[in-house]
Structure 1
Amino acid sequence: MAKDKTPAHYLLEELRIIPKLIAELRADIEATRSSVLSSPKWSDVKVQGGLRLSQEDKNIAIVDVTDYNTKQIENLLKRRQEIIDLLMTLPDMLQRHVLVTTYVNCQTFDEAIDRLEMNRNNYYMLKRKGVDSLDELLNRTKSVLNNTGTVQIDTQKY
């Protein structure tokens, strides 16, 4: 039976997922931009879905989508940095190293164990202690778990 996820678990999973979200947003930006180059130019006005659209309207929509995705990437990068900054405040350097390597640089625990060149038992012990330390830190800083499962961090507290 798996134990309940703590705020630290949610935070670490968020840290692991952020690069994947960024990659998807970047792929969407590239696909959107390439549609400008590959889309055929139509006459000044075309009816699509009952709406009259000009080529300029389509280009503006593409720019809007690209700007939105770029802003979301910036927000995700800031969030990632906030979480890493929080991890760097953990008192034990080995725990910090294990958590950062596991959740920033690796996709699996086995990959992290290999990268850290560490005994499996020591790795899991340090990882568990690191997660416990992070939970204590989150409790001290009064971080709040919102209804979507993400942890909101008040970065002024730590």
Structure 2
Amino acid sequence: MDIQSRIDEINELEAGLLSSPKWAEAKVKGGQTRKIDDVYAQLITMKDEIEKDTNVVINRKMELGRMINKLTNPKHRTILRMTYINKGTADSICYDLKMSRTTYYRLKNEAILALEEVI
């Protein structure tokens, strides 16, 4: 789950709450009526759930960061942090660190094995 997409979703919900209401008490005769307050309550509930999910993701990233910090090899820490915390692609990490893809994958696999030993 991407934190930024959840934040964007919250912003869209808040914008919907602040915009002029498009709901009427009864649009079609004989259909179910839906009060504007019910719609707002649902939107607020959705916003709260998204915020809870976002907090879970942030806490998981923080815990992963703590585990990565336990590694002794700085190259291993860098590779794992750039891959799993910063969500970098293999190509972008190779470019930033000026290394080949083979070296990247070798270091990443070594780092994962080292992390398993630490855990």
TM over 0.5, shorter chain: yes
Counterpart Cα distance in 1 of 2:89 and 2:8: 23
Bigger helix share: 2
Deviation at 1:87, TM superposition (A): 0.9
In structure 2, the CA distance between the partners of 1:51 and 1:25, relative to structure 1 (3 Å rule), is farther
Q: Which residue of 2 aligns with 1:76?
A: 57
Q: Which moved more, 1:120-129 or 1:74-83?
A: 120-129
Unmatched 5+ residue regions in structure 2?
none
Percent same amino acid among aligned pairs?
A: 22
Q: Aligned Cα RMSD in Å?
A: 2.3
Residue 25 (str. 1) matches residue 22 (str. 2): no
Larger RCO of the pair (alpha carbons < 8 Å, separation 6+):
1
Which structure 1 segments of 5+ residues have no match? 1-17, 139-158
Report the TM-score when normalising by structure 1.
Answer: 0.62
- Using the size of structure 2 for normalisation, the TM-score is 0.80
The structure with more radius of gyration? 2
CA–CA separation in structure 2 for the residues paired with 1:76 and 1:98: 20
Count of residue pairs the alignment pairs up: 116
Provide the residue aligned with 2:78 in structure 1: 97
1:46 aligns with 2:30: no
Structure with more strand by fraction: 1
